[in-house]
Amino acid sequence: MFKKTKDQLSMMSKYGYKLTESWNISTAINFSTQIQPGYTYKVDSLGKESIDQRISDFFSPAYILPTIGIGYQNKILSAVLSPVANKITIVLDDSLSSVGAFGVEPGKNIRNELGIDFTGKLTLELMENITFDTFINLFANYKTTQFIDVNWTTNLIFKVNKFFSASFGTHLIYDNDILIEQADGRNIQAVQFKHVLDIGLMVKF
C-alpha cells in the first residue's frame, strides 16, 4: 500500500518597510492546506493494512495567517515578531467540522484566533556542499497564552553534484486544539514528529 509522506500547498505574500539595514516593519499573509485526503490505517488479524478513516482533506484544514510585526534579517538569520496576528482555521468538510476537527466548534467551518506570532529561520553553510537550515513558527492565542502552537522543521542538505542532492529533515508539530488518536484509542493533545531522508534531482530553468 502506498502512503503519502508529505502533502502541502503553501503561499505567502509579504510587504515590508525598511527601518535600518537589518530591521523592518512588515505585514504578511500566509496560507497553507493540503491537496489529497489523509487517512488513519488499521491492521487486520492477518497483518494486512487497510484504510481506517479519513482525517483530513483539501481545505480541511486550511490555515490563513495575516500578521503585522517587526522583523530582523542578516545573511544567516531572519526573524519576525508579530504582536498582531489572526490565525484563521478553515474546515470545509462537513463530516470533519461536525466533530470539531482541528479546533473548530462542532458544526462550524471557521475559527478565528487573535494572538501573537513569531517566525524564525536560520541557514548555515557547515562546509562546502553541506547546508543546515531550520525554520520555526510559534503562535499563541491571547485568550490562552499558556498554550503555544509549534511548527518546527530542520534540514541537513548535501549537494552531491549539480544534478543530485540528498537531505535529512525533521518536522515537529504541536497544536493544543488538535487531538491525536493513540494506540489505545484515546484522543489527546500530543506532539507530532517525523523524519525523512530524501534524494532529489535538481534542474535549473
The reply to whether 189 falls in a domain is yes
The reply to whether 109 falls in a domain is yes
What pLDDT does 187 receive? 80
What pLDDT does 185 receive? 73
pLDDT digits (tens, 9 = 90+) for 103-154: 899 999 999 999 999 999 999 999 989 999 999 999 999 999 999 999 999 9
The reply to whether 2 falls in a domain is no
The reply to whether 1 falls in a domain is no
The reply to whether 19 falls in a domain is yes
Question: How many separate domains does the chain show?
Answer: 1
Percent of the chain with pLDDT over 90: 70
Please determine, for residue 26, whether its predicted confidence score (pLDDT) is greater than 90: yes
The reply to whether 41 falls in a domain is yes
**Residue 191 is which amino acid?**
V
What pLDDT does 43 receive? 85
What pLDDT does 18 receive? 94
The reply to whether 21 falls in a domain is yes
pLDDT digits (tens, 9 = 90+) for 34-82: 999 999 888 888 888 888 889 999 999 999 999 999 999 999 999 999 9
How high is the mean pLDDT of the chain? 92
Phi, psi of 22, deg, nearest 5:
-110, -25
Name the residue with cell 511548527: 151
Range of the domain at 171: 9-201
Phi, psi of 175, deg, nearest 5:
-140, 115
Phi, psi of 40, deg, nearest 5:
-100, 160
The pLDDT of 157-184, averaged and rounded, is: 87
The reply to whether 4 falls in a domain is no
What pLDDT does 5 receive? 76
Q: Tell me if the bond preceding 61 is cis, omega within 30° of 0.
A: yes
Please determine, for residue 182, whether its predicted confidence score (pLDDT) is greater than 80: no
Task: Give the CATH number, domain containing residue 51.
Answer: 2.40.160
